[in-house]
Structure 1
Amino acid sequence: MADDIELNRLYWHSRRGMLELDVLLVPFVREAYSALDAEDQARFRKLLTCEDQDMFGWFMRREEPGDPDLRRMVNMILDRVQPK
C-alpha cells in the first residue's frame, strides 16, 4: 500500500508540464523506478526537486549537473531511451 502511494506521488511529481520532461520522467517512474536500489530511488527523488529549466538542459545534453548523484540519474534516464 505504501509503495503504491509513493509511486503515485512520484508519478504526479514527474508530470512537469513540459513535454520533453514528461516523456522521460513519467515512463521512468512507471517502468524502472521500482527496480532501482534505495540509493538510486533517493537520487531520482532528489532530481524531482530540481528546476524544470535545469533538467531540460541536462536531458537535452546542453549541460551536465554539477552534482554527481544527479548526473548519474540523468544518464540513467537517458540511457533507457537512446538507441545503442
Structure 2
Amino acid sequence: MTAVERPTTVAGLDAGAVEYRLERRGEAVVVVAHGGHMRAGLAHGEEVFAECGYSVLVPSRPGYSRTPLSAGPPSPM
C-alpha cells in the first residue's frame, strides 16, 4: 500500500499548533492516530473508512510536519 499526500489544516489550540486532516463523509468520525514516521497529510490505509461513509480525522503527532514538538510530549502512538 502506498501513502498518498492529502491537504491538511493547522488548528491553534491552547497547547499549540496541531496539524490535522479531516475528510468529511458521514456523521460518524473515525480518528486515526498514525504511529511511526507518519503525518496527517499522508493517507495510508484509512481511506477504507471514508469509502464506508465515515468521516476521517487524522492529527499529526507533536514533532511531525506542522505540529511542533512543543505541542505535547512525544509518544510512540
TM-score > 0.5, shorter chain as reference = no
Q: Which has the higher contact order (CA 8 A, sep 6+)?
A: 2
Query: So what's the TM-score if we normalise by structure 2?
Result: 0.27
Higher helix fraction (1 or 2)? 1
Query: So what's the TM-score if we normalise by structure 1?
Result: 0.25
Higher strand fraction (1 or 2)? 2
